[in-house]
Amino acid sequence: MYTNILFDLDGTIIDSKEGIINAFEYALKKFNIEIQDRTKLEQFIGPPLIDTFINHYKFTEEQANQAIKEYREFYRKTGVLQNQLYPGIKQLIQTLCKNKKRVILATSKPEEFAKKILKTHGIKENFYFISGATLDNTRNTKEKVIKYAINNIKNVKLEECIMIGDRRYDIEGAKINNIKSIGVTYGFGTQEELEKAGADYIVADVNALENIIMNN
């Protein structure tokens, strides 16, 4: 039985595309990079920011850190509010709480932003624990975020934990921490990506997600 339910945030609880793409565009303009097709930025929703700037845009580590600073400047003021809950997700979280499940956030988004988003949508109090990235990069991968979350669950049993997310980083992070995972295709990842990463379950909507959690 799964009693500790770990959720990713972007692409799993919220559709954060608008705020994240606007923040990327803002940061890249500081480096005189103009985006012609904003949809191409969607692939960067989920992976650590530093990986995107270094691997895709070939920034040096110094440039990448400056780009992250610009990104967060915009996101903190504006982008953090440019998102919406996926249909049915608030009801699911509340149902899980009513059924004595511990709902936990495990996101690569900085913790301060994650808490503000959950509070804005009126669901922060439903979370047993919130684990996010740190701004000093000491906790900057999904693997570390999940480990930190698990370490803060009382009387935790790994077989009772399951990670829910839309990208391979969520699935891979769960595997490294020896817990099961559910991939959701309504977010920013694809069925192929989630299958390749080795998700234990893959669902297309919130109803199917609830069925797996409540019946296993």
Active-site option among 8, 10, 15, 170 = 8
What's the CA gap between 12 and 8, in Å, rounded?
6
**For residue 61, what are its two tokens?**
């580590």
Q: Are 190 and 171 in contact (CB under 8 A)?
A: no
Per the annotation, the verdict on 10 as an active-site residue is: no
Give, as one character, the DSSP assignment of residue 32.
T
Q: In what order do the strands lie in the sheet with 161-165?
A: 129-133, 102-110, 4-7, 161-165, 180-184, 201-203
Beta partners for 162? 5, 180
Within 20-160, strands assigned E span 84-85, 102-110, 129-133
**For residue 212, what are its two tokens?**
């797996």
Beta partners for 164? 7, 182
Q: Are 41 and 25 in contact (CB under 8 A)?
A: yes
Query: At 164, is the secondary structure helix, strand, or coil?
Result: strand
What's the CA gap between 15 and 27, in Å, rounded?
20
- Which residues are known to be catalytic? 8
